[in-house]
Chains A and B, each alone.
Chain A
């Protein structure tokens, strides 16, 4: 065989190999690469799902903690205003701390902003007592199961009828409810300048310490 024939054969082999590579091997290599990508993506997804399963199993193992926390929040911020229960709680606290509550004024619900998840109900409390009794009352309010947040307080030294020095306490704060569809009396005022109506519970000074639990509307 002469050199030109050999060159032709070698070129032929190269050509056949190239054709084989282009039409048989290259698509398979692409296919392998695609499958490798899919495997990688699937493994990533599986890892994510394993993490999710682990997280959910942890939650399952702590189910009681979660349920208790949710129940605590629901007691702190109930689904309905539960004003009657709140008045009773404040009354009981006033008796326990020996503070005389002279008025408790819960403001009516207001129109909620869109997306607002809960309704703060403004309360105003007037009370009298010795300094440490007032302190006990303030601590007690904070420790109530029902969430009470005090936003302002005003204390003034007064002298009672017997000549004892006392503190007069006025506080404004909020209790909360998850009820977002409460009627809002301020929606239809009788006159534009009419002040927002409030419900005031007043207990005479000589009455027993605390607020009369009148089982107000909820």
Chain B
């Protein structure tokens, strides 16, 4: 059966307008609800981050307490470093004279012998040379002094460098002709001791 609407068309329009208003209101409410939800979600994120920060801060506090508890060992380390510094300063340019003399004895050419030996360390740290050795010696002939120079400047004697002979003069011992000479040489890093390494143990 065909429906028959007896209401005037204005009533129908009003009803449509009412429905449309409700749709708009519902849309508006939904939109506001969406914004509110987004706000709550952001609040949650802030809260979550804050909790994480609190956890991290708690960890820091715990670690700080642990560091404070181990403070004696920090003091121990400081005392060690202080002593190490003192030892380093005291052993600056520490030459091993015993080894140096022993090496001189070994390196001396057969026909040369020394009558005096003077070694001096430059204690002034501004002077680049570690120190100097001056010797007086005797050889049988001039080539013996050349042998002396070659011997000291050879790579097998790294403790000294730049050896020089400042004078060679002919002389006699009894009736034997000899040559007296005066020579100097500079100490190198090879002449330094390893006492610092020996007296300071490896530490973490």
A and B are interacting partners? yes
Question: What does the 1/0 interface line of A185-214 toward B look like (CB < 8 Å)?
Answer: 000000000000000000000000000000
Chain B residue at minimal CB-CB distance from A61:
B204
The answer on a CB contact under 8 Å between B96 and A42 is no
Interface of B is mostly: helix
Which residues does chain B contribute within 8 Å of A118, judged by CB atoms?
A: 86, 89-90
Q: Assess whether B154 is interfacial by the CB under 8 Å rule.
A: no
- Size category of the binding interface on chain B: 35 or more
Known: A142-B195, A153-B118. A69 touches B64 (CB 8 A): no
Residues of A within 8 A of B90 (CB): 76-77, 118, 120, 147, 149, 174, 176
Q: Which residue of A lies closest to B51 (CB)?
A: A35
- Contact indicator per residue, chain B 4-36, by CB within 8 Å of chain A (1) or not (0): 000000000000000010001000000100010
**CB within 8 Å of B: which A32-79 residues:** 32, 35-36, 38-39, 42-43, 45-46, 49-50, 52-53, 55-63, 65-70, 72-74, 76-77
Note all chain B residues with C-beta closer than 8 A to A32: 42, 45-46, 49
Known: A53-B70, A138-B101. A69 touches B53 (CB 8 A): no
Number of A-B contacts (CB under 8 A): 178
- Given A73-B87, A138-B101: A53 touches B66 (CB 8 Å cut-off): yes
Contacting pair A138 B199 (CB below 8 A): no
Tell me the smallest distance from the CB of A7 to a CB of chain B, in Å. Answer: 14
Residues of B near A55 (CB, < 8 A) are 204
Considering the complex, give the chain A residue whose CB is closest to the CB of B17.
Answer: A1
State the Cβ distance, B104 to closest chain A Cβ, in Å: 10
Q: Does A152 lie within 8 Å of B119, measured CB to CB?
A: yes
Complex formed: what's the CA distance from A16 to B76 in Å?
65
Binary CB contact string for chain B from 167 to 204 against chain A (1 if under 8 A, 0 otherwise): 00000000000000000000000000101000111011
Main secondary structure of the interface of A (DSSP, over half): helix
In the complex, chain A residues whose CB is within 8 Å of the CB of B45 = 28, 32
Give the bracket for the number of chain A residues in contact with chain B: 35 or more
- Judged by a CB distance under 8 angstroms, whether B83 is at the interface is yes
**A138 and B87 within 8 A (CB):** no
Query: Which 7 A-B pairs give the minimum distances between C-beta atoms?
Result: A49-B63, A56-B70, A58-B204, A138-B98, A73-B83, A139-B98, A42-B56
B residues at A contact (CB < 8 Å): 20, 24, 31, 35, 38-39, 42-43, 45-46, 49-50, 52-53, 56-57, 59-60, 63-64, 66-67, 70, 73-74, 76-77, 79-80, 82-87, 89-91, 94-99, 101-102, 105, 114-121, 123, 193, 195, 199-201, 203-204
10 A–B contacts, CB within 8 A, in A order: A13-B31, A28-B42, A29-B42, A35-B52, A49-B64, A60-B73, A117-B82, A142-B96, A142-B97, A174-B90
19 additional A-B pairs beyond A76-B87, A151-B121, A155-B116, beta carbons within 8 Å, are A1-B20, A24-B35, A32-B49, A43-B56, A46-B56, A59-B70, A59-B73, A66-B76, A72-B199, A73-B86, A73-B87, A73-B199, A118-B89, A135-B101, A139-B98, A151-B120, A154-B116, A156-B115, A176-B90
